[in-house]
Amino acid sequence: MNIAATCLVPDFQACALLLDVDGTILDLAPTPQEVRVPSSLRHAMNRLSERTGGALALVSGRPLSDLDRLFAPLQLPAVGGHGAEFRPISGSSLDIRRTVPLDATLKRKFAAIAESGTGILIEDKGYSVALHYRLAPELGDVVNEAAARVCLENPSVSIELLRGKSVLEIKQAGFSKATGVRELMRYPPFRDRHPIFLGDDVTDESVFEIIGDFHGLAYSVGRMVSGIDGYFENPEAVRGWLVRISGDDETAAP
């Protein structure tokens, strides 16, 4: 973690904390289902939500239902599905959806790519699908080339391919994490606050690009990104920082 991130102690009345999930606050796992939320992190996030007056949100490619499952019993404000849906208030039934799920026929075509080699996993996120090849990294080119062919064969559908860490995300064009964050920032308690955003992957770069519009700060995790305010070495460093600023050091145990 660099010195800027180490020294960052937010003004909880003026800022909003926006956190990507996989690879940022949670360690990546061989499969999405194997990801785990440490109890210390859940406790720290609950404290930080209280300290910010509810202005702590998750920003993820996962759908809201999956985020709620992971972080239960917390039900935090969130941008889900890469901006396809969001919830502006903690515990609220106001889940706002900005698009329809990806067409089922198209999903089946992308799912068929998983049959091209052992170790390729398909994850249906509703608004998108993800092809994971962490268990077979040598098949990354096969996955990406096959997905590009499906797009060429279906020119009437505007599809966006997002290449991440041993994963290819496939979604409709027209929305992103950045569009979700922009909309989230229109609602209290986020409105008129300065967001601090943490993200690790290429899917987070759209938020890095717009965070300055809100006079906010952007931090990457695990890699250097041009134009950001600092970086954390890994999710463990992020979790340690969240515990420290929560003011609840007793949660520091893993």
Q: How confident is the model at residue 1 (pLDDT cuts 50, 70, 90)?
A: very low
C-beta of residue 47 within 8 angstroms of C-beta of residue 7: no
- Quick count: other Cβ atoms within 10 Å of Cβ 7? 8
For residue 105, give the 3-state DSSP assignment.
helix
Q: Give the closest residue to 19 by CA, choosing from 164, 198, 180, 187.
A: 198
Which has the minimum average pLDDT: 3-12, 14-23, 160-169? 3-12
Please give the pLDDT value at position 8.
74
Mean per-residue pLDDT over the chain, rounded: 90
- In this prediction, residues 212-237 reach a mean pLDDT of 94
Please give the pLDDT value at position 246.
94
Supply angle C-alpha 44, 249, 37, rounded to 5.
35
Residue positions annotated with a catalytic role: 20
Which has the minimum average pLDDT: 145-149, 171-175, 181-185? 171-175
Architecture per CATH, domain 11-98+175-252, reads as: 3-Layer(aba) Sandwich (3.40)
Tell whether the model's pLDDT for residue 5 goes beyond 80: no
Please give the pLDDT value at position 252.
39
Tell whether the model's pLDDT for residue 251 goes beyond 60: no
Tell whether the model's pLDDT for residue 254 goes beyond 70: no
Q: Specify the CATH class of 104-172 in words.
A: alpha beta
Tokens for 9?
Answer: 């102690």
Task: Classify residue 202 by burial, with Cβ atoms within 10 Å: 0-12, 13-18, 19+.
Answer: middle
- In this prediction, residues 117-140 reach a mean pLDDT of 92
C-beta of residue 162 within 8 angstroms of C-beta of residue 168: yes
The pTM of the full predicted model, rounded to 2 decimals, is 0.89
Please give the pLDDT value at position 116.
85
Tell whether the model's pLDDT for residue 199 goes beyond 50: yes
Q: pLDDT tens-digit profile of 63-74?
A: 999 999 999 999
Domains of the chain: which residue ranges? 11-98+175-252, 104-172
Tell whether the model's pLDDT for residue 32 goes beyond 90: no
